[in-house]
Copies of this chain bind each other. A is one copy, B any other.
């Protein structure tokens, strides 16, 4: 907030929210994208988003847009996190737009309704489509980075799962987001040893994919942060 507020001239900007809505389907990370109907970038895929209303916070606007685009009824419980704000002068060729980006993690999603003015909305595998409109490639990549880090330190992975899930499903989330395979017994040991990460659903089991032994079901635990964190295998440099 500027102290010399009243002495300065200031320029008004358009403020929007952009959403990176992520899910894991069949062990593959997917993103919700909309197809642009008009110039600029007509025919290109873009992240859903929209303008802030006059008396909305960015968080409120993001949740409203999320409900409109996904058609989900209970948007309240969803994992929605502000990731970063993009304000480069040339990022929209038409006018000066400052965009607050959000990342939403949703469980097994319904097909998006092409709500409102959307030309077409689809779940697409992460990284499967060419360059997105505007600077949305970078926004999406930043969101992906943050989610990967959040899986290490929080139980955010449970946001990708239904209310009751197996440890195999939870592991698939980690593998899909990180792009690495994990050892199943070690993953299981680590998750169960972390207090508050998951809690068992007594006496419940589910056949995972039709074949094999039924897996026990778990719910998300009360712990927000994981101690110690669940670090991904040596992402860069030497594994020390």
**Is A186 an interface position by the 8 A CB rule?**
no
Neighbour of A87 across the interface among B58, B118, B223, CB < 8 A? B58
* Cα(A223)–Cα(B136), bound, Å: 28
Query: A118: which B residues are within 8 A, CB to CB?
Result: 3-4
Binds B, one of A24-32, A171-179, A198-206, A230-238: A230-238
The count of identical subunits is 2
Would you call A55 an interface residue if the criterion is a C-beta within 8 Å of the partner chain's C-beta atoms? yes
Note all chain B residues with C-beta closer than 8 A to A13: 12-15, 52, 98
Separation in Å of the A160 CB from the closest CB of chain B? 22
Q: Which residues of B contact A7 (CB under 8 A)?
A: 117
Q: Which of A88-116 contact B (CB under 8 A)?
A: 88-89, 92, 94, 96-100, 116
Q: Please list the residues of chain A having a beta carbon within 8 angstroms of any beta carbon in chain B.
A: 1-8, 10-16, 18, 34, 36-38, 46-59, 82, 84-85, 87-89, 92, 94, 96-100, 116-119, 133-134, 136, 193-196, 223, 225, 227-229, 231, 234-240
